[in-house]
Amino acid sequence: MSHSPLTLYLAAPRGFCAGVDRAVKIVEMAIEKWGAPVYVRHEIVHNKHVVDDLRGKGAVFVEELDECPDDRPVIFSAHGVPKSVPAEAARREMLYVDATCPLVSKVHIEAARHHENGLQMIMIGHEGHPETVGTMGQLPPGEVLLVETVEDVATVEVRDPERLAFVTQTTLSVDDTADIVDALKARFPAIVGPHKEDICYATTNRQEAVKAMAPKCEAMLVVGAPNSSNSRRLVEVGQRAGCAYAQLVQRPEDIDWRALGDLRSVGITAGASAPEVLIEAVIDAFRARFDVTVEVVETAVENVEFKVPRVLRVTA
């Protein structure tokens, strides 16, 4: 039986970023060094496939430190943690490794510096997201105010409009954040911002690739988890860039083939915490149903690599 032709546009860059790559390596190296089980506070990255794979190797995922025994290593997720968490681990004399992405740590350092200079912080981010919780938890209560939308900027109550700074979650939509930053600067002309956007290079690059790919596609699939902020933003960016049908799928089984119908062109990308093996599985699912031609849409080349903490590089 002959299949109808289909062009798959494959975004580049896509999938794993350097921060995720480093976090996964940290868990694997910790298990290798100290044996199983190694405890991980919160999902190391927001992807079920990655978490299940590490669980199979001996990682135990918990939400809070009080679920961990004192005598086993614990790893903090790539999203970062409030200051109270390593302080508590140190108090309990636990062996802990911080897998916070260096680009998130940079935001933490920025927030601490502004605080030392007597500025109150405004954070642009999503309420309840572990990265936002971690960043806000770097400073005492009330020192970081959260805004999620342009509307929030109009109602946020600050201590002194002349003594403010802002930071952002690293996985936001570049375009949405620009609008919120503009609103902050309009309402608080003296507000201090980062030298360079806090949104990480990988988030920006993946969104740019989607914008370049969207006009070519009748539909777009983003491989990623529903709790992954950067993956959900890719769906929104695709829709805004003119792709009427953009869906988030965790694996090939999630693809709604009836909704796709008899399309001739589909774009595929993946959030920063989705491994390449899932993207390959989605492509294979299309190959089983269509006569597929793959075209790569490349907008940037990434060669960033972050070192793992020294404690894991030093042999016992």
Contact 163, 119 (CB under 8 A): yes
Q: Give CA–CA dist 110/166, Å, rounded.
A: 9
Q: Is residue 141 part of a domain?
A: yes
pLDDT at residue 187 in the model: 98
Predicted confidence pLDDT, tens digits, the chain (316 residues): 578 999 999 999 999 999 999 999 999 999 999 999 999 999 999 999 999 999 999 999 999 999 999 999 999 999 999 999 999 999 999 999 999 999 999 999 999 999 999 999 999 999 999 999 999 999 999 999 999 999 999 999 999 999 999 999 999 988 889 999 999 999 999 999 987 778 899 999 999 999 999 999 999 999 999 999 999 999 999 999 999 899 999 999 999 999 998 899 999 999 999 999 999 999 999 999 999 999 999 999 999 999 999 999 876 4
Tally of domains in the chain:
3
The dihedrals phi and psi of 3, each to the nearest 5 degrees, come to: -95, 150
To 5 degrees, how large is the angle CA 89–CA 94–CA 100?
60
pLDDT at residue 243 in the model: 93
pLDDT at residue 315 in the model: 67
Residue that has been written with the tokens 């990255």 in this structure:
45
Q: Is residue 307 part of a domain?
A: no
pLDDT at residue 80 in the model: 96
Classify residue 257 as exposed, middle or buried by CB count within 10 Å of its CB (0-12, 13-18, 19+): exposed
pLDDT at residue 201 in the model: 92
If asked whether residues 279 and 228 sit together in one domain, one would say: yes
Give one DSSP letter per residue of 31-63, joined into a string.
Answer: HHHH-S-EEEES-SSS-HHHHHHHHHHTEEEES
What are the tokens at 215?
């006009």
Q: How many CB atoms are closer than 10 A to CB 109?
A: 10
pLDDT at residue 314 in the model: 78
Beta strands in 95-163 (DSSP E): 96-98, 120-124, 144-147
Q: Give CA–CA dist 137/91, Å, rounded.
A: 18
Q: What is the value of pTM for the model shown?
A: 0.92
Contacts 24+ apart (CB under 8 A), 56-63: 57/27, 57/28, 57/31, 58/31, 59/27, 59/31
Distance of CA 282 to the CA centre of its chain: 21
Q: Is residue 126 part of a domain?
A: yes
If asked whether residues 85 and 130 sit together in one domain, one would say: no
Helices (H) and strands (E) in the chain, counts: 12, 12
If asked whether residues 141 and 95 sit together in one domain, one would say: no
- The last residue of one of the domains, among 101, 136, 162, is 101
If asked whether residues 79 and 62 sit together in one domain, one would say: yes
CATH at residue 89:
3.40.50.11270
CATH at residue 259:
3.40.1010.20
If asked whether residues 171 and 108 sit together in one domain, one would say: yes
Q: Is residue 194 part of a domain?
A: no
- Enzyme catalytic residues: 131
| Structural domain boundaries enclosing 92 | 18-101
Q: Is residue 195 part of a domain?
A: no
Q: Is residue 309 part of a domain?
A: no
Distances (CA, A) of 132 to 58, 107, 145, 146, 172: 28, 11, 11, 9, 11
SS3 106: helix
Q: Is residue 244 part of a domain?
A: yes
Q: Give CA–CA dist 101/135, Å, rounded.
A: 12
Q: Is residue 177 part of a domain?
A: yes
Q: Give CA–CA dist 199/148, Å, rounded.
A: 14
If asked whether residues 225 and 236 sit together in one domain, one would say: yes
